[in-house]
Protein backbone atom coordinates (compact mmCIF):
# COMPACT_ATOMS: atom_id res chain seq x y z
CA UNK A 1 0.00 0.00 0.00
CA UNK A 2 1.53 3.34 -1.04
CA UNK A 3 2.20 5.71 1.83
CA UNK A 4 -0.23 8.42 0.68
CA UNK A 5 -3.11 5.95 0.35
CA UNK A 6 -2.27 4.28 3.66
CA UNK A 7 -2.33 7.65 5.40
CA UNK A 8 -5.77 8.34 3.90
CA UNK A 9 -6.98 4.93 5.04
CA UNK A 10 -5.86 5.46 8.62
CA UNK A 11 -7.21 8.99 8.70
CA UNK A 12 -10.59 7.60 7.68
CA UNK A 13 -10.41 4.92 10.36
CA UNK A 14 -9.59 7.52 12.99
CA UNK A 15 -12.51 9.70 11.85
CA UNK A 16 -14.79 6.68 12.37
CA UNK A 17 -13.34 6.19 15.85
CA UNK A 18 -13.65 9.78 17.08
CA UNK A 19 -16.10 8.81 19.78
CA UNK A 20 -13.81 6.18 21.29
CA UNK A 21 -10.34 7.67 20.86
CA UNK A 22 -8.76 9.13 23.98
CA UNK A 23 -8.49 12.93 23.98
CA UNK A 24 -6.28 13.45 26.99
CA UNK A 25 -2.67 13.39 28.05
CA UNK A 26 -1.24 10.13 29.33
CA UNK A 27 2.19 9.22 30.64
CA UNK A 28 3.38 5.62 30.65
CA UNK A 29 5.81 6.04 33.53
CA UNK A 30 8.83 4.07 34.68
CA UNK A 31 8.72 1.17 32.25
CA UNK A 32 11.53 -0.43 30.30
CA UNK A 33 10.90 0.72 26.74
CA UNK A 34 11.95 -1.43 23.78
CA UNK A 35 11.41 -0.03 20.29
CA UNK A 36 13.57 -1.55 17.53
CA UNK A 37 12.39 1.11 15.07
CA UNK A 38 14.37 3.66 17.12
CA UNK A 39 16.99 1.27 18.57
CA UNK A 40 15.58 1.96 22.05
CA UNK A 41 16.14 -0.43 24.93
CA UNK A 42 16.13 1.50 28.21
CA UNK A 43 14.07 2.86 31.09
CA UNK A 44 11.92 5.75 29.85
CA UNK A 45 8.56 7.46 30.01
CA UNK A 46 6.18 7.52 27.04
CA UNK A 47 4.12 10.68 26.49
CA UNK A 48 0.75 10.42 24.74
CA UNK A 49 -1.59 13.19 23.71
CA UNK A 50 -4.93 12.73 21.92
CA UNK A 51 -4.09 9.11 21.12
CA UNK A 52 -0.71 9.97 19.57
CA UNK A 53 2.80 9.46 20.95
CA UNK A 54 4.48 12.83 21.33
CA UNK A 55 7.77 11.76 22.90
CA UNK A 56 9.85 9.31 24.91
CA UNK A 57 12.28 10.46 27.57
CA UNK A 58 13.70 9.63 30.97
CA UNK A 59 13.47 11.88 34.02
CA UNK A 60 10.59 13.96 35.30
CA UNK A 61 7.75 15.10 33.00
CA UNK A 62 8.05 18.48 31.32
CA UNK A 63 6.00 21.46 32.42
CA UNK A 64 2.37 21.17 31.39
CA UNK A 65 2.11 17.42 32.03
CA UNK A 66 1.29 17.72 35.74
CA UNK A 67 -2.37 16.90 35.15
CA UNK A 68 -1.77 14.01 32.76
CA UNK A 69 -3.09 10.56 33.62
CA UNK A 70 -0.21 8.40 34.80
CA UNK A 71 0.00 4.69 34.04
CA UNK A 72 2.63 3.22 36.32
CA UNK A 73 4.81 0.76 34.43
CA UNK A 74 7.47 -0.02 37.04
CA UNK A 75 8.58 -3.62 36.64
CA UNK A 76 6.96 -3.84 33.19
CA UNK A 77 8.22 -3.54 29.64
CA UNK A 78 6.53 -1.15 27.18
CA UNK A 79 6.78 -2.02 23.49
CA UNK A 80 5.02 -1.23 20.22
CA UNK A 81 1.77 -3.15 19.83
CA UNK A 82 2.39 -6.50 18.18
CA UNK A 83 1.59 -6.97 14.48
CA UNK A 84 0.16 -10.28 13.31
CA UNK A 85 0.26 -10.54 9.53
CA UNK A 86 -1.66 -13.81 9.24
CA UNK A 87 -5.07 -14.20 10.87
CA UNK A 88 -8.51 -15.49 9.92
CA UNK A 89 -11.39 -13.48 11.41
CA UNK A 90 -13.97 -15.50 9.40
CA UNK A 91 -15.96 -12.39 8.53
CA UNK A 92 -17.95 -12.48 6.26
CA UNK A 93 -19.54 -15.90 6.11
CA UNK A 94 -18.29 -17.89 9.09
CA UNK A 95 -19.06 -15.63 12.01
CA UNK A 96 -20.14 -18.49 14.26
CA UNK A 97 -16.38 -19.17 14.53
CA UNK A 98 -15.15 -15.57 14.82
CA UNK A 99 -16.04 -12.10 13.67
CA UNK A 100 -14.07 -8.90 13.39
CA UNK A 101 -15.05 -7.60 16.82
CA UNK A 102 -14.42 -10.85 18.73
CA UNK A 103 -11.20 -11.42 16.82
CA UNK A 104 -9.99 -7.93 17.66
CA UNK A 105 -10.76 -8.50 21.34
CA UNK A 106 -8.67 -11.69 21.22
CA UNK A 107 -5.88 -9.75 19.52
CA UNK A 108 -5.94 -7.05 22.20
CA UNK A 109 -5.67 -9.70 24.92
CA UNK A 110 -2.53 -10.94 23.19
CA UNK A 111 -0.94 -7.47 22.96
CA UNK A 112 -1.64 -7.32 19.22
CA UNK A 113 -2.79 -3.97 17.84
CA UNK A 114 -2.60 -4.62 14.07
CA UNK A 115 -3.69 -7.70 12.12
CA UNK A 116 -3.70 -8.71 8.48
CA UNK A 117 -6.79 -10.79 7.66
CA UNK A 118 -6.65 -13.55 5.06
CA UNK A 119 -9.26 -13.51 2.27
CA UNK A 120 -10.68 -17.08 2.44
CA UNK A 121 -14.03 -15.88 3.76
CA UNK A 122 -17.48 -16.58 2.30
CA UNK A 123 -17.59 -15.01 -0.18
CA UNK A 124 -13.83 -14.56 -0.60
CA UNK A 125 -12.37 -11.06 -0.53
CA UNK A 126 -12.46 -10.53 -4.29
CA UNK A 127 -14.51 -7.33 -4.57
CA UNK A 128 -14.29 -3.72 -3.36
CA UNK A 129 -17.69 -4.16 -1.68
CA UNK A 130 -16.41 -6.89 0.63
CA UNK A 131 -13.32 -4.84 1.48
CA UNK A 132 -15.51 -1.86 2.36
CA UNK A 133 -17.72 -4.06 4.52
CA UNK A 134 -14.69 -5.35 6.44
CA UNK A 135 -13.30 -1.86 6.96
CA UNK A 136 -16.65 -0.51 8.16
CA UNK A 137 -16.91 -3.27 10.77
CA UNK A 138 -13.26 -2.74 11.73
CA UNK A 139 -13.91 0.90 12.62
CA UNK A 140 -15.22 -0.27 16.01
CA UNK A 141 -12.63 -3.01 16.55
CA UNK A 142 -10.03 -3.24 19.31
CA UNK A 143 -7.15 -3.52 16.82
CA UNK A 144 -6.36 -2.16 13.38
CA UNK A 145 -7.67 -4.58 10.75
CA UNK A 146 -5.95 -4.74 7.34
CA UNK A 147 -7.60 -7.00 4.74
CA UNK A 148 -5.78 -9.01 2.12
CA UNK A 149 -7.61 -9.74 -1.12
CA UNK A 150 -7.44 -12.85 -3.27
CA UNK A 151 -4.77 -13.51 -5.89
CA UNK A 152 -7.29 -15.28 -8.12
CA UNK A 153 -10.94 -14.32 -8.53
CA UNK A 154 -12.95 -16.03 -5.77
CA UNK A 155 -9.85 -18.15 -5.01
CA UNK A 156 -10.82 -20.39 -7.92
CA UNK A 157 -7.30 -20.48 -9.34
CA UNK A 158 -8.41 -19.69 -12.89
CA UNK A 159 -8.31 -15.90 -13.40
CA UNK A 160 -6.28 -13.23 -11.64
CA UNK A 161 -8.10 -10.70 -9.51
CA UNK A 162 -8.27 -7.04 -10.50
CA UNK A 163 -5.35 -6.10 -8.27
CA UNK A 164 -5.41 -2.36 -8.90
CA UNK A 165 -9.12 -2.00 -8.10
CA UNK A 166 -8.86 -4.07 -4.92
CA UNK A 167 -5.70 -2.25 -3.87
CA UNK A 168 -7.38 1.12 -4.27
CA UNK A 169 -10.37 -0.14 -2.31
CA UNK A 170 -8.16 -0.85 0.71
CA UNK A 171 -6.62 -4.30 0.33
CA UNK A 172 -3.04 -4.12 1.66
CA UNK A 173 -1.82 -7.15 -0.28
CA UNK A 174 -2.84 -10.40 -1.95
CA UNK A 175 -2.97 -14.10 -1.08
CA UNK A 176 -5.01 -17.20 -1.86
CA UNK A 177 -4.22 -18.50 1.60
CA UNK A 178 -5.99 -21.76 2.30
CA UNK A 179 -6.01 -22.69 -1.37
CA UNK A 180 -2.66 -22.14 -3.15
CA UNK A 181 -2.33 -20.94 -6.74
CA UNK A 182 -1.65 -24.19 -8.61
CA UNK A 183 -0.80 -22.62 -11.97
CA UNK A 184 2.80 -21.35 -11.94
CA UNK A 185 2.23 -18.97 -14.86
CA UNK A 186 -0.68 -17.33 -13.03
CA UNK A 187 1.41 -16.97 -9.89
CA UNK A 188 4.30 -15.46 -11.86
CA UNK A 189 2.00 -12.94 -13.53
CA UNK A 190 0.50 -12.09 -10.14
CA UNK A 191 3.92 -11.47 -8.64
CA UNK A 192 4.85 -9.12 -11.48
CA UNK A 193 1.59 -7.18 -11.21
CA UNK A 194 1.82 -6.88 -7.43
CA UNK A 195 5.40 -5.66 -7.77
CA UNK A 196 4.23 -2.89 -10.09
CA UNK A 197 1.59 -1.83 -7.56
CA UNK A 198 3.95 -2.02 -4.61
CA UNK A 199 1.69 -4.57 -2.93
CA UNK A 200 2.98 -7.60 -1.01
CA UNK A 201 1.98 -11.06 -2.24
CA UNK A 202 1.90 -14.03 0.13
CA UNK A 203 1.92 -17.70 -0.79
CA UNK A 204 0.34 -20.63 1.01
CA UNK A 205 2.85 -23.22 -0.18
CA UNK A 206 1.06 -26.49 -0.72
CA UNK A 207 0.54 -28.90 -3.61
CA UNK A 208 -2.99 -30.20 -3.15
CA UNK A 209 -2.39 -33.17 -5.42
CA UNK A 210 0.42 -34.33 -3.16
CA UNK A 211 -1.63 -33.69 -0.01
CA UNK A 212 -4.61 -35.70 -1.20
CA UNK A 213 -6.77 -36.60 1.81
CA UNK A 214 -3.92 -36.17 4.32
CA UNK A 215 -4.88 -35.20 7.86
CA UNK A 216 -1.51 -34.90 9.62
CA UNK A 217 2.20 -35.02 8.91
CA UNK A 218 3.19 -38.08 6.88
CA UNK A 219 5.64 -40.06 8.98
CA UNK A 220 6.07 -42.53 11.78
CA UNK A 221 3.16 -41.27 13.87
CA UNK A 222 0.66 -41.13 10.97
CA UNK A 223 1.59 -44.66 9.91
CA UNK A 224 1.27 -46.01 13.45
CA UNK A 225 -2.14 -44.34 13.83
CA UNK A 226 -3.30 -45.40 10.39
CA UNK A 227 -4.19 -41.79 9.51
CA UNK A 228 -3.58 -40.42 5.98
CA UNK A 229 -0.51 -38.18 5.99
CA UNK A 230 0.54 -34.88 4.40
CA UNK A 231 3.87 -35.35 2.65
CA UNK A 232 6.37 -32.56 3.34
CA UNK A 233 7.19 -32.48 -0.38
CA UNK A 234 3.88 -30.65 -0.81
CA UNK A 235 5.22 -27.64 1.08
CA UNK A 236 8.83 -27.85 -0.03
CA UNK A 237 8.09 -28.09 -3.76
CA UNK A 238 5.86 -25.02 -3.83
CA UNK A 239 8.24 -23.05 -1.59
CA UNK A 240 10.98 -23.78 -4.12
CA UNK A 241 8.70 -22.84 -7.01
CA UNK A 242 7.75 -19.46 -5.54
CA UNK A 243 11.36 -18.64 -4.79
CA UNK A 244 12.46 -19.42 -8.33
CA UNK A 245 9.59 -17.37 -9.76
CA UNK A 246 10.72 -14.45 -7.60
CA UNK A 247 14.38 -14.97 -8.58
CA UNK A 248 13.56 -15.14 -12.28
CA UNK A 249 11.36 -12.05 -12.33
CA UNK A 250 13.21 -9.96 -9.75
CA UNK A 251 10.02 -9.67 -7.71
CA UNK A 252 9.35 -10.21 -4.02
CA UNK A 253 7.30 -12.96 -2.40
CA UNK A 254 6.30 -13.79 1.16
CA UNK A 255 6.08 -17.44 2.26
CA UNK A 256 3.38 -18.22 4.81
CA UNK A 257 3.54 -20.56 7.84
CA UNK A 258 6.83 -22.41 7.20
CA UNK A 259 6.79 -25.81 8.93
CA UNK A 260 9.48 -28.07 7.42
CA UNK A 261 13.23 -28.38 7.59
CA UNK A 262 13.24 -28.61 3.81
CA UNK A 263 11.51 -25.25 3.36
CA UNK A 264 13.78 -23.65 5.97
CA UNK A 265 16.83 -24.93 4.06
CA UNK A 266 15.41 -23.67 0.76
CA UNK A 267 14.83 -20.24 2.30
CA UNK A 268 18.33 -20.17 3.74
CA UNK A 269 19.80 -20.86 0.31
CA UNK A 270 17.55 -18.30 -1.39
CA UNK A 271 18.51 -15.53 1.00
CA UNK A 272 22.18 -16.33 0.52
CA UNK A 273 21.60 -15.85 -3.23
CA UNK A 274 19.85 -12.51 -2.69
CA UNK A 275 16.37 -13.60 -3.70
CA UNK A 276 13.72 -11.18 -2.46
CA UNK A 277 11.88 -13.62 -0.24
CA UNK A 278 10.54 -13.22 3.28
CA UNK A 279 8.88 -15.82 5.47
CA UNK A 280 6.82 -16.36 8.59
CA UNK A 281 6.17 -19.20 10.97
CA UNK A 282 3.92 -19.69 13.98
CA UNK A 283 4.78 -20.68 17.56
CA UNK A 284 3.34 -24.18 17.23
CA UNK A 285 5.87 -25.07 14.53
CA UNK A 286 8.89 -24.40 16.74
CA UNK A 287 7.29 -25.64 19.97
CA UNK A 288 5.18 -28.73 19.18
CA UNK A 289 5.47 -31.95 17.14
CA UNK A 290 3.21 -34.55 15.56
CA UNK A 291 3.63 -36.76 18.63
CA UNK A 292 0.69 -34.77 20.08
CA UNK A 293 -1.62 -36.28 17.44
CA UNK A 294 -1.48 -39.54 19.38
CA UNK A 295 -4.06 -37.93 21.68
CA UNK A 296 -6.67 -38.13 18.93
CA UNK A 297 -7.57 -34.49 19.55
CA UNK A 298 -8.34 -32.34 16.49
CA UNK A 299 -7.12 -29.24 18.33
CA UNK A 300 -3.63 -30.42 17.33
CA UNK A 301 -4.54 -30.55 13.64
CA UNK A 302 -3.75 -27.58 11.40
CA UNK A 303 -2.40 -26.97 7.90
CA UNK A 304 0.49 -27.18 7.44
CA UNK A 305 0.57 -29.83 10.16
CA UNK A 306 2.77 -30.26 13.17
CA UNK A 307 5.93 -31.97 11.95
CA UNK A 308 8.78 -33.95 13.55
CA UNK A 309 11.33 -32.98 16.17
CA UNK A 310 13.91 -32.48 13.38
CA UNK A 311 11.59 -30.00 11.68
CA UNK A 312 10.81 -28.23 14.95
CA UNK A 313 14.50 -27.65 15.63
CA UNK A 314 15.13 -26.47 12.07
CA UNK A 315 12.31 -23.90 12.32
CA UNK A 316 13.63 -22.73 15.68
CA UNK A 317 17.10 -22.23 14.20
CA UNK A 318 15.66 -20.40 11.18
CA UNK A 319 13.82 -17.98 13.50
CA UNK A 320 16.98 -17.46 15.54
CA UNK A 321 19.07 -16.77 12.43
CA UNK A 322 16.52 -14.45 10.78
CA UNK A 323 15.96 -16.83 7.87
CA UNK A 324 12.33 -16.79 8.96
CA UNK A 325 11.70 -13.06 9.31
CA UNK A 326 8.56 -12.80 11.42
CA UNK A 327 6.32 -14.72 13.79
CA UNK A 328 2.58 -14.79 13.06
CA UNK A 329 -0.23 -16.98 14.41
CA UNK A 330 -2.34 -18.23 11.48
CA UNK A 331 -5.20 -17.74 13.97
CA UNK A 332 -7.86 -20.11 12.57
CA UNK A 333 -10.91 -20.43 14.82
CA UNK A 334 -13.43 -23.29 14.62
CA UNK A 335 -16.33 -24.10 16.92
CA UNK A 336 -16.06 -26.95 19.45
CA UNK A 337 -18.65 -28.94 17.48
CA UNK A 338 -16.60 -28.61 14.30
CA UNK A 339 -13.48 -29.82 16.09
CA UNK A 340 -15.16 -32.76 17.80
CA UNK A 341 -14.30 -35.48 15.27
CA UNK A 342 -10.54 -36.09 14.97
CA UNK A 343 -10.61 -37.09 11.28
CA UNK A 344 -13.49 -35.00 9.95
CA UNK A 345 -12.64 -31.76 11.77
CA UNK A 346 -11.38 -28.77 9.76
CA UNK A 347 -7.73 -27.77 10.12
CA UNK A 348 -6.69 -24.83 12.24
CA UNK A 349 -6.04 -23.51 15.75
CA UNK A 350 -6.48 -20.18 17.52
CA UNK A 351 -3.35 -18.31 18.53
CA UNK A 352 -3.84 -14.60 19.13
CA UNK A 353 -4.11 -14.83 22.92
CA UNK A 354 -1.20 -17.23 23.39
CA UNK A 355 1.43 -16.22 20.83
CA UNK A 356 3.34 -13.71 22.97
CA UNK A 357 3.47 -15.93 26.05
CA UNK A 358 4.46 -18.91 23.91
CA UNK A 359 7.30 -16.95 22.30
CA UNK A 360 8.53 -15.49 25.58
CA UNK A 361 8.65 -18.99 27.06
CA UNK A 362 10.23 -20.83 24.14
CA UNK A 363 12.47 -18.13 22.66
CA UNK A 364 13.39 -15.46 25.23
CA UNK A 365 13.56 -17.43 28.48
CA UNK A 366 15.59 -20.11 26.68
CA UNK A 367 18.11 -17.55 25.38
CA UNK A 368 17.35 -18.19 21.71
CA UNK A 369 16.24 -14.59 21.17
CA UNK A 370 16.66 -11.41 23.17
CA UNK A 371 13.56 -9.45 24.15
CA UNK A 372 14.62 -6.87 21.58
CA UNK A 373 14.86 -9.57 18.90
CA UNK A 374 11.42 -10.93 19.75
CA UNK A 375 9.77 -7.51 19.50
CA UNK A 376 11.47 -7.03 16.13
CA UNK A 377 10.00 -10.28 14.83
CA UNK A 378 6.54 -9.75 16.28
CA UNK A 379 6.08 -6.01 15.72
CA UNK A 380 8.63 -3.88 13.86
CA UNK A 381 9.56 -6.28 11.05
CA UNK A 382 6.05 -7.55 10.22
CA UNK A 383 4.81 -3.95 10.05
CA UNK A 384 7.67 -3.04 7.71
CA UNK A 385 7.15 -6.14 5.60
CA UNK A 386 3.48 -5.31 4.96
CA UNK A 387 3.99 -1.55 4.78
CA UNK A 388 1.81 -0.81 7.79
CA UNK A 389 1.95 2.30 10.03
CA UNK A 390 2.68 0.18 13.09
CA UNK A 391 5.52 -1.43 15.02
CA UNK A 392 6.96 1.86 16.28
CA UNK A 393 6.77 4.26 19.23
CA UNK A 394 8.19 7.19 17.28
CA UNK A 395 6.72 10.63 17.93
CA UNK A 396 3.71 11.11 15.70
CA UNK A 397 2.78 7.42 15.74
CA UNK A 398 -0.56 6.22 17.03
CA UNK A 399 -0.30 5.21 20.69
CA UNK A 400 -0.59 1.51 19.94
CA UNK A 401 1.46 -0.27 22.57
CA UNK A 402 1.68 -3.18 24.95
CA UNK A 403 2.90 -3.48 28.54
CA UNK A 404 3.97 -6.89 29.78
CA UNK A 405 5.45 -8.65 32.78
CA UNK A 406 8.35 -10.75 31.48
CA UNK A 407 8.46 -13.24 34.34
CA UNK A 408 4.79 -13.66 35.24
CA UNK A 409 3.62 -17.24 34.80
CA UNK A 410 0.13 -18.14 33.63
CA UNK A 411 -1.71 -21.21 32.40
CA UNK A 412 -3.58 -21.28 29.10
CA UNK A 413 -7.29 -21.72 29.80
CA UNK A 414 -9.36 -21.61 26.58
CA UNK A 415 -12.53 -21.04 28.61
CA UNK A 416 -11.23 -17.53 29.31
CA UNK A 417 -10.43 -16.63 25.71
CA UNK A 418 -11.94 -13.52 24.15
CA UNK A 419 -12.14 -15.39 20.87
CA UNK A 420 -15.42 -17.13 20.05
CA UNK A 421 -13.47 -20.37 19.56
CA UNK A 422 -11.42 -22.54 21.92
CA UNK A 423 -9.32 -24.73 19.59
CA UNK A 424 -5.89 -24.11 21.10
CA UNK A 425 -2.94 -26.47 20.79
CA UNK A 426 -1.45 -24.82 23.91
CA UNK A 427 -4.33 -25.55 26.28
CA UNK A 428 -3.17 -26.38 29.78
CA UNK A 429 0.41 -25.23 29.12
CA UNK A 430 2.12 -22.77 31.49
CA UNK A 431 3.86 -19.78 29.94
CA UNK A 432 6.24 -17.22 31.38
CA UNK A 433 5.57 -13.70 30.12
CA UNK A 434 2.15 -12.03 30.44
CA UNK A 435 0.46 -9.18 28.59
CA UNK A 436 -0.76 -6.70 31.20
CA UNK A 437 -2.07 -3.73 29.21
CA UNK A 438 -2.82 -3.00 25.55
CA UNK A 439 -3.50 0.49 24.19
CA UNK A 440 -4.92 1.30 20.77
CA UNK A 441 -4.73 4.95 19.82
CA UNK A 442 -4.29 5.75 23.51
CA UNK A 443 -7.44 3.81 24.44
CA UNK A 444 -7.12 0.87 26.84
CA UNK A 445 -8.46 -2.17 24.99
CA UNK A 446 -7.12 -4.82 27.38
CA UNK A 447 -6.20 -4.53 31.05
CA UNK A 448 -4.85 -7.38 33.18
CA UNK A 449 -2.94 -5.28 35.70
CA UNK A 450 -5.21 -6.10 38.62
CA UNK A 451 -6.34 -9.64 37.87
CA UNK A 452 -3.73 -11.37 40.04
CA UNK A 453 -3.56 -14.12 37.47
CATH of the domain at 267: 3.20.20.140
CA distance 202 to 33: 32
For the cut 60, the answer to whether the pLDDT of residue 273 exceeds it is yes
Residue 397 belongs to some domain of the structure: no
- For 102, 213, 266, 375, 376, the CA distances from 142, given in Å and listed in that order, are 9, 38, 38, 20, 22
Residue 24 belongs to some domain of the structure: no
Per-residue model confidence (pLDDT) at position 345: 98
Q: Which is it for strands 82-87 and 77-80: parallel, antiparallel or unpaired?
A: unpaired
Catalytic residues: 330
Residue 234 belongs to some domain of the structure: yes
Residue 214 belongs to some domain of the structure: yes
What is the CA 2 to chain-centroid distance, rounded? 21
Residue 113 belongs to some domain of the structure: yes
Domain, as residue range, for 121: 99-386
pTM for the whole thing? 0.95
Chain segment 358-378, per-residue pLDDT in tens: 999 999 999 999 999 999 999
Per-residue model confidence (pLDDT) at position 453: 43
Residue 39 belongs to some domain of the structure: no
Chain segment 174-210, per-residue pLDDT in tens: 999 988 999 999 999 999 999 999 999 999 999 999 9
For the cut 60, the answer to whether the pLDDT of residue 452 exceeds it is no
For the cut 70, the answer to whether the pLDDT of residue 19 exceeds it is no
CA distance 451 to 229: 43
For the cut 90, the answer to whether the pLDDT of residue 62 exceeds it is no
Going by pLDDT thresholds of 50, 70 and 90, the confidence category of residue 119 is very high
Residue 213 belongs to some domain of the structure: yes
Give mean pLDDT, residues 318-324.
98
| Domains held by the chain: number | 1
User: Which residues are within 8 A (CB) of 367 and not within 5 positions of it... i.e. 6 or more apart?
Assistant: none
Residue 340 belongs to some domain of the structure: yes
Amino acid sequence: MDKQRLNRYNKGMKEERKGIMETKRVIIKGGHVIDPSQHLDDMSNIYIENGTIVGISAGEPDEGWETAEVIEAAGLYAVPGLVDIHVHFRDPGFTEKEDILSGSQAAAAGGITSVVCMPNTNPPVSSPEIIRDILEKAAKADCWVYPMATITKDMAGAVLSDFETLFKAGAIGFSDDGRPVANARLMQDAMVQCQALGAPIASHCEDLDIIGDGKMNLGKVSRELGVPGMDRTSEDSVTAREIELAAGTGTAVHICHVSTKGSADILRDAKARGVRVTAETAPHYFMLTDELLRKGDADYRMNPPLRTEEDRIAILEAVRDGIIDVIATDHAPHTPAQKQDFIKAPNGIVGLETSFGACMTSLVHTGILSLYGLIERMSTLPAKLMGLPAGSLKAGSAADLMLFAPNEEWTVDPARFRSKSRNSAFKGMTFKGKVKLTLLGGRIVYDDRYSGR
